[in-house]
Amino acid sequence: MSYSVKLRSVLTAGLLSVSCIAMAEAASVDDLGKSLTPVGAERAGNADGTIPEWAGGITTPPAGWTVGQPRVNPYAGDAKLFSIDGSNVDQYKDKLSEGQIALIKRYPGYRMDVYPTRRSCAYPERVYERTKANVAETKMDESGHITAGYGGFPFPIPTTGWEVIQNHRSAYRGYGVISSPAMAVMQGGDRYILNVGDQVSYTPQYDPKTTSFADTKGFRGKFIYTQTQPAASVGGVLLVHEYYNGRKESWGYIPGLRRVKQAPNAAYDNPVPGQDGLRTFDQTFMFNGDGDRYDWKLVGKKELYVPYNAWALKDQKLKLKDIVGPDYPNRDLIRYELHRVWVVEATVKPGIRNVLPRRTFYVDEDSWTIVLADLYDTKGNLWRTQENSLYVASELPACVTAADFYFDLSAGRYIADNMILGNATENYLAGASVDGERFTPSSLRQTGMR
C-alpha cells in the first residue's frame, strides 16, 4: 500500500499561516488568564460548540484519593458520539492527520471512538504565574537554545514553530517523578519484546528551590533508568543529562562488566538500540533533543480528533495483552476528542542529511504537548506516525502521558511506550525525595548493585 504525501492546498496552508500570524500579533501578556488561558490557549470554545470554553480544568484529585490508588475516571459516564473507521474516514478527513487516515485505511478493524470534548488540563498557580513572567523573561540564543526564563511554559504566545516545540519540551509534569514505565516492541503476530524499568527523573526548572534560570545550572532535565525486565538485562542502568544548550550526555552501567561507560550518539536520527530500527532517539516522547537540524514553520491552528482524557489506559487491572494487539493498540481503550492543535512543520535544513527529512507535529493548545506527529521519508512518503494519549495527573495538577505509540507504516509494526502496567509505581509527587545532585556517573554502579 502506498503512503504518498497528500499535500495541503496552497490556499489552506496560506489561510492557516495568516490566521496564526494575526493571532500572535494581536495577543499580549495581558490576555493571559483572560481571553487566553493562563498558559496561552484560546479560552473560548469554537463556533458550533463542539469544543467548549476552558473553565479551569481538573485542579484537585477525587475526594479520598491518594498516590498509588487506582485512577478515577471523571468522564466514565460519557457516551460515545460516533466512531471513525474505514467506512466513513473520508467524511472526517478534514479533522484527521494523514497518519490517522493511513492507519484506518491500512488495518481492517482499526477505528477511532470519538467522545465529547473535555478541556480538562490544568496546572498549579505557580506555573501560571511563571508562564506569564516568561513572556518578558524567556530568551533564546541564535542557535535556538533557551538562556533565560524558568518555572513555566517559555512561550505562551508563540510566533515560531520552534517556540511551540520548546513549550512541549518544557511542559510541567512534576519536578521529581518516580515511575516504572513499560515499553513493548511489537514484532508481528503476538510476539513482542517487553522492557520494564524503574525510573527517577528530575526537572530543575520546576524545583521550588529554583528562583532563576541560573539555578538550573544549565540542566533541562536528568533521569536514571534501572532495567527490571527482560531477565537478560536486569540491573542495567542508564543515566541521561539533557542541557538547555542542546547537548545531551548519557552513561550506561553494564552488570556483566561491572563498569560504567559513556554511551555514544544518543541523539538525533540515530536508531535507539533494542527497538528494531522502529524509532530514532529524537522520536522519543514525540520529539526529543536539539532542533538545530530543522527549519521550523508555524503553520497555524487546526481542529483535530486527538487522543485525550485516557483514563481507560490507567486501569490498574490492565495487563500488556489488554493494551497491545498484533497491529495496533486495543481500540476500546483509546478515547478521541475534538481539540484545537498548533500545526508545526519541520523540514531538514539544506545540506543536512536525515532519515526523517520532514515532520508535521500537532500540539495540543491546552497542554503544549505533541499529541500527533507524521514523519516522512527521503522520497516524501509518509513513513511513520506517532500518537500520544493524555490524561490529568490531578495531584499535580498537569496533563501527562498515559501511553504513547510509534507506528512504522513500512514495517507494519509499532512500539507502545510509557505504559504503567498493573500496580507499577507512578508517583508524580516524589520531588521532595529526589536528590537532584545524585544524577552522576559515579552513582550508576551503586544503583545497579542494589
Query: Which residue's entry shows cell 540564543?
Result: 141
State the cell numbers at 321: 495483552
Number of H helices, E strands in the chain: 6, 19
Give mean pLDDT, residues 426-432. 96
Q: What is the mean pLDDT of residues 38-65?
A: 97
Amino acid found at 3: Y
Percent of the chain with pLDDT over 90: 88
DSSP, residue by residue, 393-447 = ETTTTEEEEEEEEEEETTTTEEEEEEE--TT--EETT-GGG--TT--SHHHHHHH
Question: What cell does 160 get?
Answer: 515560531
User: What integer best gives the mean pLDDT of the chain?
Assistant: 93
Q: Is the pLDDT of residue 99 over 80?
A: yes
302 and 408 Cβ atoms separated by less than 8 Å: no
Q: Which of 318, 285, 279 is nearest to 387 (CA)?
A: 285
User: How far is Cα 272 from Cα 406, in angstroms, rounded to an integer?
Assistant: 13
Question: Could you please report the per-residue DSSP string of 222-259?
Answer: EEEEEEEESGGGTT-EEEEEEETTS-EEEEEEETTTTE
Higher pLDDT, 284 or 257: 284
In this structure, the number of other CB atoms found within 10 A of the CB of residue 429 comes to 16
Whether residue 407 is predicted with pLDDT greater than 70 in this model: the reply is yes
Q: Quote helix, strand, coil % in the chain, to nearest 5.
A: 20, 30, 45
Closest CA to 82 of 275, 293, 336: 336
How far is 276 from 138, CA to CA, in rounded Å? 39
Q: Does 12 score more than 50 pLDDT?
A: no
Evaluate if residue 302 carries a pLDDT over 70.
yes
Enumerate domains of the chain plus CATH numbers: 10-449 (2.50.20.10)
- pLDDT class of 448 with cuts at 50, 70, 90: low
